[in-house]
Amino acid sequence: MNGTVIPATGQEPTVANVLLEDGRIVDIGTNVRPHGNAVEIDASGMYLMPGMIDSHVHMAMNGGVESSTSVETTDAYAVLRAARDMARTLGAGFTTVRDLGGRNGMEFALRDAIRDGVVPGPRLLLAGSLISMTTSGPLMYPGMYYVADGCDEVRRAARTQLARGADVVKVFATGAAFCEGEDPRWTQLDEDEIRVAVQEAHKQGKPAAAHAEGVEGIRNAVVAGIDTIEHGDFLCEDDETIELMRSRGTILTPTMLLYDTVLQHLDDEAIPAFVRQNCEWIAPINRRSVQTARDAGIPIALGTDAGPPYHHHGGNARELALLASAGLTNEEVLESATRVAARAVGKADELGTLEVGKCADVLVLGGNPLDDLDVLIEPASFQWILLGGRIVGGTAAERARTLHWLTTA
């Protein structure tokens, strides 16, 4: 296919032909010609960029106002609904999605079914159960937690998730704004406990992610060697921790959409009052931390935390606008959703840029997202969505399918 290639490598966009073969990008250039029986996609006048990556969602949650996993009574129902939600997320241009806390392992079945072509969806990367100290969280989110206290239990917890096939180990370094009875500034797992989980993940070449809102917990996780700080709300409060993250290259995943979505529905009394209060309180601090991190040169990855109240799967791209509103340039926003997110999920060699050798996850867009991020937020502008070289969505793809149907009917 031909078009303006936005490689997301930091290099300038260029008009070129892109050759895909066996799910990979095999050539990019002006003199690239397709082989004899290749399928050609004419994308002249269009823009090509890497498929987007959401590095933080919860398929176990359906965007319901209760902010709980207990609403859907069976894992079987939850996984069918999650399959629909992942199809929607893929249709929104997200070709890779990382789940950071599932439900009794139903997410592994969905990951494997999508991989095998049983149902449509993005490439899934999973944490399995999130690892937490004894706390009130499991009462609100049954099926999502693995409770572990002390280094030995955390080691067993991490190994258990990895043995199930987890792609990342997720730990709780602080309390959570969405857990009743917790304060997001309190620390949870201690530095030595987090370090054990990080070691187990790294032994398998996989990343470790920490839920960390308060600054003391952020520091514990960073010192313990964590790869990504999820939320990082109170980071702006401590210059030393900011410098620590910068010097170590620790990635921040600010999940701005998590708080902003609740802010849009503050008058809905069906959302637990403590959730609404926490979001109102934390959103501006979270925003300040994004600005501070960006100015300090801390890498920022896109992660939305989709699943909590009104935070429906498929609306993930709205995070792009929030990151831009916090001071990231359009180019930085695009890279947070591609190259940086690929690093965050431990797949920098495979995903996140349009380069020879990478997976053929490509978005073909009607407009230039570097001029206007709305191109990525408005589903109609996706002409073609390719996942591993297969056409999986886009308006032009739909049209082509209809035409094919009309001519063969």
Please report how close the Cβ of residue 227 comes to Zn ion at its closest, in angstroms: 15
Phi, psi of 315, rounded to the nearest 5 degrees: -95, 15
User: Measured from the CB atom, is 182 or 305 closer to Zn ion?
Assistant: 305
- Alpha helices (runs of H) in 39-105, residue ranges in sequence order: 75-91
| CA-to-CA separations, 181 to 5, 227, 234, 255, in angstroms, rounded | 49, 28, 19, 22
Binding mask 284-323 for Zn ion (x = CB under 5 A): ---------------------x------------------
User: Measured from the CB atom, is 185 or 246 closer to Zn ion?
Assistant: 185
Phi, psi of 403, rounded to the nearest 5 degrees: -60, -45
Which of 269, 328, 335, 271 has the alpha carbon at shortest distance from 294?
A: 328
Q: Are 271 and 63 in contact (CB under 8 A)?
A: no
Question: How many residues bind Zn ion, per CB under 5 A?
Answer: 1
User: Measured from the CB atom, is 51 or 303 closer to Zn ion?
Assistant: 303
Please report how close the Cβ of residue 47 comes to Zn ion at its closest, in angstroms: 31
User: Measured from the CB atom, is 260 or 305 closer to Zn ion?
Assistant: 305
User: Measured from the CB atom, is 216 or 305 closer to Zn ion?
Assistant: 305
Closest CB to Zn ion: residue number:
305
Please report how close the Cβ of residue 45 comes to Zn ion at its closest, in angstroms: 39
User: Measured from the CB atom, is 75 or 99 closer to Zn ion?
Assistant: 99
10 exposure class (CB count in 10 Å sphere: 0-12, 13-18, 19+): exposed
Q: Are 227 and 250 in contact (CB under 8 A)?
A: yes
Binding mask 106-145 for Zn ion (x = CB under 5 A): ----------------------------------------
Under rule CB under 5 A, which residues in 34-93 are in contact with Zn ion? Answer: none
User: Measured from the CB atom, is 241 or 253 closer to Zn ion?
Assistant: 253
Please report how close the Cβ of residue 184 comes to Zn ion at its closest, in angstroms: 12
User: Measured from the CB atom, is 233 or 305 closer to Zn ion?
Assistant: 305
Please report how close the Cβ of residue 258 comes to Zn ion at its closest, in angstroms: 7
Please report how close the Cβ of residue 56 comes to Zn ion at its closest, in angstroms: 6
226 exposure class (CB count in 10 Å sphere: 0-12, 13-18, 19+): buried
Q: Are 352 and 341 in contact (CB under 8 A)?
A: yes
Under rule CB under 5 A, which residues in 322-361 are in contact with Zn ion? Answer: none
Please report how close the Cβ of residue 304 comes to Zn ion at its closest, in angstroms: 9
Q: Are 158 and 192 in contact (CB under 8 A)?
A: no
Please report how close the Cβ of residue 61 comes to Zn ion at its closest, in angstroms: 9
Please report how close the Cβ of residue 344 comes to Zn ion at its closest, in angstroms: 14
Q: How far apart are CA 76 and CA 293, in angstroms?
A: 41
The percent of the chain in helix, strand and coil, each rounded to the nearest 5, is: 40, 20, 40
Region of residue 112 (left: phi > 0; alpha: psi -120 to 50; beta: else):
alpha
Please report how close the Cβ of residue 84 comes to Zn ion at its closest, in angstroms: 20
Under rule CB under 5 A, which residues in 150-179 are in contact with Zn ion? Answer: none
Under rule CB under 5 A, which residues in 249-288 are in contact with Zn ion? Answer: none
Integer-rounded Cα radius of gyration of the chain: 21
Which of 76, 145, 64 has the alpha carbon at shortest distance from 109?
A: 76
Q: Are 130 and 166 in contact (CB under 8 A)?
A: no
Q: Are 92 and 379 in contact (CB under 8 A)?
A: yes
Please report how close the Cβ of residue 101 comes to Zn ion at its closest, in angstroms: 6
Contact residues for 179 (Cβ-Cβ < 8 A; gap 6+): 135, 136, 137, 140, 141
Instruction: Give the interface with Zn ion as residue ranges (CB under 5 A).
Output: 305
